[in-house]
Amino acid sequence: MNRDWKNLFPSRRMIFLGSGGVVFLGLTARLAELQLFRQAEFETKAREVRIKLEPAPPHRGTIYDRGGRVLAGSKRNFYVTIRPEVAGKSREEISRVIDRVGRLLRLSDSKMRTLLQDATTPPAHRDILVADDLTWEEFAQVNVMAPELSGVSAEVGELRSYPLQAAFYHTIGYVQKANEADIQAKIKAELEAAGEALDSEAGKTRATTIRRLYKHPAMRVGKQGIEAYGEMQLKGDPGKIRLLQNATGRVIDRLPSDDIQGKPGADVVLSIDAELQNFAIQRFGADAGSAVMIDVHTGEVVCMMSTPAPDPNLFVSGIAAGPYKALREDERNPLYHKAYDGVYPPGSTFKIVVAAAALESGAMKPEDTVHCSGKAWYYNRFYNCYKTEGHGTVNLHTGIQKSCDCYFYRAAEKTGIEAIASVAHRFGLGHRYALGLTGGKAGSVPNDAWKRKAVGEQWYAGDTISAGIGQGYVTATPFQLAYMCARIAGGGNTPNPHLIVSGIDVPDYEIEPMGQFKPGVLEAVRAGMFAVTSEPGGTAIRFGALDEKNELPAPYTGARMAGKSGTAQVIDLSGRRDARGKAISNDKLPWRLRDHALFVAFAPADKPRYAVAVVIEHGVSGSSAAAPVARDLLAHALKTDPGSRKPFVPHVSTIAANEAGKA
């Protein structure tokens, strides 16, 4: 052992510990300088010039009708935001700023209260939307006043607009500011689409990006209809901009070199013809109801309307509670998509299903007759025909033509519910069609299994009798009735229905093909429907002609429509008897208790091209209220022939270039 070294070590240790002490003292001194003596300076700096990485909302895809008319587009939006941490430290300071900007923009007191509530809830370092869709004058005023309104900035962006207003409210839906539930749902959907787990690194980043984007004051989310269904495609990919902010939060400069370009959302083209849609809405006038028209050759939905409807533009910047409540409580249900979500008993329109089922199953031959005396006795009770004096002897053809209930009681009894349900499914009832919008109902095609599940009871023989005339458990949406009519008119090769031509992929995996009927079955049904409008004694004989003056070009010259009326009871008949037990006529009932009027039709009767279903709520009579509307819609469709024109193809590249130029 080296003794010299051993003696040397303690002094070396002292030197080392001494210099270590100097290092630690130096660090402590520097910390004291920064944290004790210069704290105020750094605290200011912490709120001073900072770089803000802001997501830039992408351009939302435009929705066009088949002719290229804009149904949902973007307009320039002047909006004003406030950043609470910059507006002030205390509630009073923030309140003062909100007060001033609120007076400038003439905001309501309740709006200002909500704003203050929002602005005083942490975190304070985010931009809160004060007002948008401002006029240029209001925007300029805020800009001029800006130096006195700390934390307030006036910005320019894009806002969704619906130029045709109410016409497409139900189908296209609307956009609104995203709430927490929307954000959660979008995060979930996008992570699923990307195949990333929420707790993975990539998943977290994606979730944060989505959250930031939807929190942006200029960003909206699709809440309903196509806007909601196609959110991911319509939205596009957000870009990012780097902004340099000063101590008051005002953006001093943009650092464009660091911009990350976003990608505009996909443009969507619908098969609907806006002109036909508008015509339908005008034709309905003050009536509430819906109409759906389908091109039999292509399966394209050329009209799908529900009326009345609110203006979706009201929702984009947030609708006030009062008007919204009024809309919700309106007995004409303006918020409801009657064509897609409304389920109605199909009434006598279902007789064409029963007729087809009777022939297909062999239970009846077309020439088999039934005697109608105005009522019929089944299973210990009478079933009435709507015509109390009876139709006399009827066969399948005259049964459809005159809509004789007794004939269809018998037909249903002989055919049986299972065979009827099978044909109803083949005609497309009981299926929720995926069209690319939210909502949608399947309706019900009852049979024994269905009733045990849905009602918890076995199927009684009497249920079949009611089903024979489309009452009881049978329900369908106007959309389904239109497509049913298209299948009857078009036969086994009718294409599946679709509403979206391009932009969003809408698969419908569960749709069942109709298959081929025995020869003569569909022909006999179509002949019966032709008789309804075109042979003496038909229930809608006055409304068969679509081109009385032979003005339409071939092949529509002198076209007639074929159809079937229906009347759906709103409540059980027993509820509509007066004190003496006498039935009250529809006209004397309050509006909301009257029967719904239905009509399904196709035209031209000999070479079907368009199939339509019209439902007028509480319209009382299918043959006199709904039939003329169906006639006018089909006549208009034949005149303008939207199905013959190829749907619009948007030029993606030019749109993207325009947006880039504007930004």
Partner 1 sequence: MAMMIRKDTLLYKLTQLHWFLLLTIIALAMFGSLILFSAGSSAHDLETGNLKIDASYAIAHIWRFVLMLGVALVVALLPLRLWASLAYPAYFIGVLLLLGVELMGNIVNGSQRWLTLGPLTLQPSELMKIAVPIALARYYHQMFAAGRNGLWVHLIALVMVLVPVAFVLKQPDLGTSLMILGTGCGVIFFAGISLRVVVVVIALVAFMTPVVYFFGLHDYQRERIHTMWDPDADPLGKGYQLQQGMIAVGSGGLAGKGFMEGAQKELEYIPEQHTDFIFTIVAEEFGFAGSVVLLLAWGTAIFQGMMVAGHSRSAFGSLAASGFISTLLLYVGINIGMVIGLLPVVGIPLPLISYGGTAIVTVMIGFGLLMAVHLNRANDMTLRGLF
The one-character DSSP state at 10 is H
Q: Residue 242 Cβ, how far from partner 1 at the closest point, in Å?
A: 8
Closest Cα partner for 224 from 500, 437, 442? Answer: 437
Of 38 and 381, the one with the shorter C-beta distance to partner 1 is 38
One of 9, 136, 382, 509 touching partner 1 (CB under 8 A): 9
Please state, in angstroms and rounded to a whole number, the distance separating the CA atoms of residues 564 and 533: 8
Q: Could you tell me if 563 and 533 are in contact, meaning their C-beta atoms sit under 8 angstroms apart?
A: yes
Rounded least distance, CB 85 to partner 1, Å: 9
- Residue pair 604/546 in contact (Cβ under 8 Å)? The answer is yes
Among 18, 41, 452, 591, binds partner 1 (CB under 8 A): 41
Residue 256 binds to partner 1 (criterion: CB under 8 A)? no
Subset of residues 100 to 159 that bind partner 1, contact rule: CB under 8 A: 121-123, 125-126
The only residue of 255, 449, 454, 461 in contact with partner 1, by rule CB under 8 A: 255
Residue with Cβ nearer partner 1 (41 or 510): 41
Residue found by looking up tokens 């008897």 in the block:
577
Helix (H, G, I), strand (E, B) or coil at 530: helix
Stretch that binds partner 1, among 1-9, 385-393, 433-441, 471-479 (CB under 8 A): 1-9
Strands 268-270 and 63-64 turn out to be parallel
- Matching residue, tokens 């299972």: 418
Cβ proximity to partner 1: between 8 and 660 the closer is: 8
Give the whole-angstrom CA distance, residue 146 versus residue 90. 20
- 42 makes contact with partner 1 (CB under 8 A): yes
Spatial contact of 412 and 354, defined as CB atoms under 8 Å apart: yes
Across the strands, what pairs with 75?
159
> Does 2 contact partner 1 by CB under 8 A?
yes
- Burial readout 129-167 (b: 16 or more C-beta within 10 A, e: otherwise): bbbbebeeebbebbbeebeebbbbbbbebbbbbbebebb
Grouping H, G, I as helix, E, B as strand and the rest as coil, residue 421 is helix
Eight-state DSSP code of residue 618: T
From 100, 113, 212, 263, residue interacting with partner 1 (rule: CB under 8 A): 212
The answer to the question of residue 18 lying near partner 1 (CB under 8 A) is no
Q: How many residues bind partner 1 (CB under 8 A)?
A: 45
Give SS3 for 307: strand
Q: Does 205 bind partner 1 (CB under 8 A)?
A: no
CB of 150 to partner 1, least distance (A): 19
Does position 382 interact with partner 1 (CB under 8 A)? The reply is no
Query: Do residues 269 and 502 lie in contact, with contact meaning Cβ atoms separated by under 8 Å?
Result: yes
Q: Which of 20, 323, 553, 555 binds partner 1 (CB under 8 A)?
A: 20
Per CB under 8 A, 10 contacts partner 1: yes
- Asked if 51 interacts with partner 1 (CB under 8 A), we say yes
Residue 46 to residue 40: CA distance in whole angstroms: 10
Q: Does 254 bind partner 1 (CB under 8 A)?
A: no
Pairing of strands 152-161, 221-222: unpaired
Q: Decide if residue 89 touches partner 1 (CB under 8 A).
A: no
CB 269 within 8 A of CB 503: yes
Report the residue number, 35 or 282, with the smaller CB distance to partner 1. Answer: 35
Residues binding partner 1 (CB under 8 A) = 1-2, 4-5, 8-10, 12-13, 15-17, 20, 23-24, 26-28, 30-32, 34-36, 38-39, 41-43, 45-46, 49-51, 121-123, 125-126, 180, 208, 211-212, 215, 255
